[in-house]
Amino acid sequence: MINISFISKLPFTIISGTGPMDATGDYQKPNHGLPEGPEMMSAKPAPDMGKEQRPLSKEMDHGFPKEMPGPEEGLWARVWWCLCWPIHKVCRSTTPDCREAKWRHWYLLTFLVSMFWISFFSYIMVWMITVIGSTLGIPDTVMGLTFVAAGVSVPDALSSLAVIKEGYGDMAVSNAIGSNVFDILICLGLPWFIQTALIKPGSHVNVISKGLTYSTLSLLSTVAFLLVATHLNGWKLDRRYGMVLMAWYLFFILFASLYELNVFGDLNPPECVSNF
């Protein structure tokens, strides 16, 4: 007789069949509803139900209507389409869409062309706002705090909106903070370096604004307010958090503009006559 008591002392566990016995005397393994054989090999993972596939409409060219809106859309929609169509047409014609298969490896060119068009339109916008401010007698600092700052931040806002729709809130916050760091260190340092080192070596650029101290302190307080508000809101983005941030922005813009307009005292001297 064979002694099988040693089996209980083995370092592994022997799993016996629990299903019905087939014709050969072996137990059948229950599959718990899983496919077997060729079906199991060809089984594909379930698609990601969290991401909705939204194909582009035939009437839309990457978010822009191909044809002019009808009269039922209103006069403003038709005028807006006429103003935006030339810009959209030029950008679409000169910028390769790297989302398409034939342009997939041209992403670097897409980035460079996009940077060129952003720089070009930003220059036109700043020039127009400077002329309007000079005509209406509004200081450059106020125009910079309001219209210029809002205009150049539109790409940042759109990119943050795009990543928020995908559920990446931390990327949106990082984009907002990183873009401001880039604006302060590069967008100020690079033009001043070119002006004082290449165009007029040895020269310097004067900053005539006593409100710069106030603006700097306000910026630091805004960063502190962002951290405190995010912590109090449980490190999540919602409607209440957005309303609080927008209210803080209006509060900052109001007092900064009043400060630059010498409402609280004679803080900024009159601007010098310029040929530009």
Q: Residues 27-77: pLDDT tens digits?
A: 444 444 444 444 444 444 444 444 444 444 444 455 567 778 788 888 888
pLDDT of residue 121: 86
Which of 40, 13, 17, 16 shows the shortest CA–CA distance to 30?
17
pLDDT of residue 267: 65
Q: Is the pLDDT of residue 123 over 60?
A: yes
Q: Is the pLDDT of residue 12 over 80?
A: no
Q: Which of 53-57, 132-136, 200-204 has the lowest mean pLDDT?
A: 53-57
Q: Which of 177-186, 188-197, 232-241, 262-271 has the lowest mean pLDDT?
A: 262-271
Quote the strand ranges of the chain, DSSP E.
60-61, 64-65
Alpha-carbon 6 to chain mean position: 67
Report, as an integer, the average pLDDT of 144-152.
80
Q: Is the pLDDT of residue 264 over 60?
A: yes
> How is residue 130 written in tokens?
């400077």
Calculate helix-pair angle for 75-94, 107-136, nearest 10 degrees.
130
CB 253 within 8 A of CB 146: yes
Of residues 108 and 58, more confidently modeled: 108
Give the CA count within 13 Å in the CB-facing half-sphere of 80. 9
As a whole number of angstroms, the distance between CA 78 and CA 83 comes to 9
Residues of the chain with pLDDT > 90, as a percent, come to 4
pLDDT of residue 214: 72
Within 8 A by CB and 6+ apart from 253, the residues are 145, 146
What mean pLDDT is reported for the chain? 74
pLDDT level of residue 6 (50, 70, 90 thresholds)? very low
CB atoms within 10 A of CB 117: 14
What does the DSSP assignment read for 216-232?
A: HHHHHHHHHHHHHHHHH
Residues of the chain with pLDDT > 70, as a percent, come to 72
Within 8 A by CB and 6+ apart from 219, the residues are 180
pLDDT of residue 273: 59
pLDDT level of residue 209 (50, 70, 90 thresholds)? low
CB 265 within 8 A of CB 242: no
Report, as an integer, the average pLDDT of 88-112.
88
Which of 263, 224, 229 shows the shortest CA–CA distance to 246?
229
Report, as an integer, the average pLDDT of 10-20.
44
pTM over 0.85: no
